[in-house]
Structure 1
Amino acid sequence: MSNAIRRLNARDPEFLSTLDALLAFESAADERIDAAVSEILRAVRATGDAAVIEYTRRFDHLDVSSMAGLELPHAELKAALDGLTVERREALRVAADRVRQYHERQKIDSWSYMEADGSVLGQQVTALDRVGLYVPGGRASYPSSVLMNAIPAKVAGVHELIMVVPTPRGEKSPLVLAAAAIAGVDRVFTIGGAQAVAALAYGTQTIPQVDKIVGPGNAYVAEAKRRVFGTVGIDMVAGPSEVLVISDGSGDPDWVAMDLFAQAEHDELAQSILLCTDAGFLDAVAAAIERLLPTMPRREIIAKSLAGRGALIQVDDLEQACAIANRIAPEHLELSLETPEPWVAKIRHAGAIFVGHHSVEALGDYCAGPNHVLPTMRSARFSSPLGVYDFQKRSSIVHISAAGAQTLGKVASILAHGEGLQAHARSAEMRLKD
């Protein structure tokens, strides 16, 4: 396994081009996925419930005749929560409480101010009316995704939260249903795939149209979300998971190797990169990877991820490491440094920054508090983690007094004439007393 992950040096003349090639990821759907999603969206838009039922029979092998058989009662969610072991139930509650406490600090309130002439300007903040939450189902059981998407929506004041989760062959995840109960999800439908996205985006006879769709899914779900954007809002079209570790050689190489594994085990396309100033430490991490990899249950996925998109990179100093990190703009960044605090301000582009040897990214996935829905594929250069603000919208308040209209009307008239929009100018001029 010694060749499981490439070694690079930032001093190499071709380093930046090699790095850019390593970071490159094509997120567009292939023609087969594109055609299938297009057909599903058209069918659901045209026939609603009937199409959803038919696709659920075909893809999830559920023998249902009506949508009533695909909606879970609240009693089943509560029973799933009550049926957990005390240990699991308490872990869910602790995680939910921490996520809620963090996101309560993000809520934006309305504001306004009055000018000297009595005009009032401001901003009215309101929650979205209805949000759809997609949750992977079957073997892919992610209760943490329920908490991270549902709790900020509820903190924002979303009136109705509808969760869709596929249950292939009737296979339900008690943890997912329990998380829905804790997070306060209003309705749950056991549907998935592009047909679930279509139902949320367009509405059916049973499922009301939502204003925004959030949550992870496979390539079909991602393509469906991409296509319905504009009809509804979406959180993002996410790429594979990413971690970048910056090290000065002061940590435990086994810890760093396992942090790289933690991202690599998600997917063969996940990306795990280490930047380090100490060549000897890079050697130690490479040895730890070789030694620990055979012990991992998902070792085949990890090995392919590390070989395909991973790297151990030697840098000259931490200034250079931070510059490279800003070029990468990773989803997760770990500052695995003896004195990490001074370097936080050097990072301009990262979804989440984990500071110090004990701030392992895995804690952020489950229970640290900040959201684990983060920008990928270098989009941290211009976007942010999912939060309460994604479930709130802002309306400008413009209340111009009669006195204010005298001053502003003249300004607007001059500018409107300059743009050749005479009706605009006349509309403003009609308010003038002179």
Structure 2
Amino acid sequence: MHDLKLLRDDPAAFDAHLARRGFPASSAAVLDLDQKRRDTQGRLQAMQARRNDASRQIGQVKAKGGDADALMAEVATLKADIQAAEEADKALGAEIETLLASIPNLPAPEVPEGGEEANTEIRRWGEPRLPEGAAHYEIGEALGLMDFEAASRISGARFVVLKGQLARLERALGQFMLDLHTTEFGYTEVAPPVLVRDQAVFGTGQLPKFAEDLFRTTNGYWLVPTAEVPLTNLVREQILDDARLPLRFTALTPCFRSEAGAAGRDTRGMIRQHQFSKVELVSITTPEQSAAEHERMTNCAEEVLRRLGLAYRVLLLAAGDMGFGATKTYDLEVWLPGQKTYREISSCSNCGDFQARRMQARSRAAGAKGTVPVHTLNGSGLAVGRTLVAVLENYARPDGTVEVPAALRPYMGGLDVIAPHV
């Protein structure tokens, strides 16, 4: 959500920032509604003042034995007019909120202009273990441990059944990531609900614009598309002490996405599924802390890939390619030999105060009277399914076995090689 005062102060700058995202100018529509509401509020205040004055006059006239009928009729009329003005004020306020809720966050000054083609590579780490190789689904099916046909019979397209050591490998990856983030990077592990209410999904920006990308239960709950939703909403409607910040949370949860806009993309394999596991990182900071926290969070996600020995690159996303709630985003892309390219495995975003305003999450400095919206950040640390894909494709051997990365062997009972299932 946007700060209406900032929009009033410089509508041209607001529209210029939106233009960098390829979003149409919106300030005029917001300010038109805002002016109508302010005019309504002005009339409302004038009527309320006149009602109060007339009510006092009625008492004075009656005390002197005079006729107060005209004043009483005026008060009755004012009462009806005030009620109508209050309803109009409420309706205009809701209309403004709805319009503001549909406008994406503004990009940070250092974010490049343009769409996906303007994304800027910041750095690379590691050399691909294999310049090219088999796709993960070919490797997994050859192992006899990855079954898309069974998943299709159970649930339909974009699901998978993992068995045996591949199921254990997926579990090992999630546990490894959680242990790294909690023991070395200071994140607090959370086991949150994965069914959430409208307010929670609105707070992080998925509603109302992206409802078609989500799954909803018949009794009105939303299945989380990422643990960003419950973790960030831990501070909704709270006033936090600045001294407690930053707060850092992590969770391993199943995630659910309809992939409504991905028809025909990545239809084979585990890259784009309706259900997948992900370790999420969320930080709640003061405005002064958020830029440094963004770099720190990104490095935490990178460290997972470094510990696993997976080559990757970091991209600074252009304004037109960022998510709805982000003001600045780094994407981590891991090398996949089966596709002979880098593919996204983590997205780390600074949302500034955009989500906090939607959630009414604020903080107060010591000795300060007022409060300010906190800043929120989120990132994948990492997407477990895609990390499994990367491990299979980068650690596959010519004999059909898959080497287990050294960092995962303690979580695999010491197993160092996954062999075809007999």
TM-score range, shorter chain: under 0.3
Larger of the two Rg values belongs to structure: 2
TM-score, normalised by the number of residues in structure 1: 0.22
